[in-house]
Structure 1
């Protein structure tokens, strides 16, 4: 038979003892509700100083906290379970300074993802244009993440579109007019269509090249896949004849 083990806090145990002494039969261990904790949370933070990594970790644990109904007090106590390596070392030194859950989250942001000055964000924004192989979804997502780090209200959507549109690869700007898109959703939809069309065209070109190669027939060796001018057997024979000619001249 499997035995159920119920873990009680000192307060809960004291309450049960008092209830037993007073004869309250309703206060049994089965009525004690287990508290939520980070025990089963899989998110971990190693102390990487990167804005996206920090925000991803914070979003993950805040969401888990809400779903698991973990109180602020218990979440603060269990935060050490989620911090490893450099983050764990840092937390051991500053944990006494964090009096609340919100304060702890703010400290993680301040230490591992301090706000960048606006000029640095603009440098990163304009420092790299979209190359031919970058998907438009990924590129726009990265650039919008940078803009989100600017002070709130710095740019409206129209201005952000202007900033990012100019960084797109020419294959998109050639087919999309800036005045035809009013939102990032519209820009992405039009950009995806261009990507699909390009992929279809490249596949068609590859198939055509394979068909052309298959239809080729060499008039020298009579094999398919190459022409007379490309024939390696013919070129090898020419080289061999030259070498034989040189050897004959020397012997004479």
Structure 2
């Protein structure tokens, strides 16, 4: 026996559709409310700062937390409240004493930079730039990166890229300057590209020289004892001993 068919009037169908729409809207509103109530924080941020007076370390920390704040959509107020979670050691002690001075998030960032990475006078930065030249062990990428980091601490707009190239080019190791002429490079990108080629070529030449030395050692044969690896002049067996004089 088939089940009875339930027929609905037009009014009943419209009422049912309206009820479903109302329920869906209420559910979406609850989800939106929950999303609004969920606040971002620095709880899961892995960046930490211990108070070292190092320009690069300070800028790395500031860049990391500013980026994290933006990604997690943390409000300025909540970021300011949670900043203490990211300090340890000396930095934590310092923050306890100055936190009342930070009225805004921007104030906090400025305080960090002013205390742990105060601006150096230009003449001191120039002294650090010209303090040392590139040695044989330092790769060109590392050397140029270090020098450009110092140049970045100068007042904005002090030098254009061409002038900065002039400053750094003269500090490069002679093995690069012999191959890369200053007039052939217009940017740091070109300098690094050509510098890497020089390094690869030098590495290949060193490997070939080492292989050649090993091959030469293998092919040497002593005409006195007939063993490989040394020559007649180097042969120990042909050298007289004390017993031969007795």
Using structure 2 for the length normalisation, give the TM-score. 0.83
* Aligned counterpart, 2:18: none
Within 5 Å, which residues of 2 pair with 1:109-128?
A: 109-128=113-132
In structure 2, how many angstroms separate the alpha carbons of the residues matched to 1:244 and 1:88?
80
In structure 1, how many angstroms separate the alpha carbons of the residues matched to 2:165 and 2:106?
34
* Aligned counterpart, 1:136: 140
* Aligned counterpart, 2:52: 48
In structure 1, how many angstroms separate the alpha carbons of the residues matched to 2:173 and 2:155?
28
1:95 and 2:99 correspond: yes
Give the CA deviation at 1:244: 6.2
> 1:67 pairs with 58, 67, 71, which one?
71
In structure 1, how many angstroms separate the alpha carbons of the residues matched to 2:230 and 2:127?
51
Moved more, 48-57 or 215-224: 215-224
* Aligned counterpart, 2:162: 158
Moved more, 155-164 or 214-223: 214-223
CA separation of 1:243 and 1:124: change in aligned 2, threshold 3 A = farther
In structure 2, how many angstroms separate the alpha carbons of the residues matched to 1:230 and 1:84?
64
Structure 2 unpaired stretches of 5+ = 1-25
Question: What secondary structure is seen at the aligned counterpart in 1 of 2:119?
Answer: coil
Give the CA deviation at 1:234: 2.7
Moved more, 214-223 or 96-105: 214-223
Question: What secondary structure is seen at the aligned counterpart in 1 of 2:228?
Answer: coil
* Aligned counterpart, 1:191: 195
Give the CA deviation at 1:229: 2.4
Within 5 Å, which residues of 2 pair with 1:202-213?
A: 202-213=206-217
Using structure 1 for the length normalisation, give the TM-score. 0.81
Pairs aligned (count): 218
* Aligned counterpart, 1:242: 242
**Deviations 1:91-125 (CA, angstroms, capped at 9, x unpaired):** 11111111111111110101111001101000000
C-alpha RMSD of the superposition: 1.8
Question: What secondary structure is seen at the aligned counterpart in 2 of 1:221?
Answer: coil
In structure 2, how many angstroms separate the alpha carbons of the residues matched to 1:207 and 1:215?
12
1:105 and 2:109 correspond: yes
Give the CA deviation at 1:243: 5.9
In structure 2, how many angstroms separate the alpha carbons of the residues matched to 1:176 and 1:66?
42
**Deviations 1:107-154 (CA, angstroms, capped at 9, x unpaired):** 010111100110100000001000111111110111011000000111
